[in-house]
Amino acid sequence: MKSKWLVLGLSWLVPGYGFFVHGLRRRALILFLAIEGTFALGCMLKGGVFLPEFRWGHEGFNIVTLLTFFTQMFNGGGAILSLLPELAGRRWAILPYDESYCFADLGSFYLLVAGGLNYFVLMSTYDHFYGRKRSLRAEAEESTK
The chain-wide mean pLDDT, for the chain, equals: 83
Q: pTM for this one?
A: 0.78
pLDDT digits 0-9 by tens, 129-144: 887 767 666 666 666 6
pLDDT digits 0-9 by tens, 17-31: 999 998 899 999 999
Q: Please provide residue 130's backbone torsions phi and psi, each rounded to the nearest 5 degrees.
A: -135, -10
Element (H, E) at 6: helix 4-13
| pLDDT average, residue stretch 28-51 | 89
pLDDT digits 0-9 by tens, 68-103: 888 888 888 888 888 877 777 666 556 666 677 788
Q: Which residues contact 96 (CB under 8 A, 6 or more apart)?
A: 43, 46
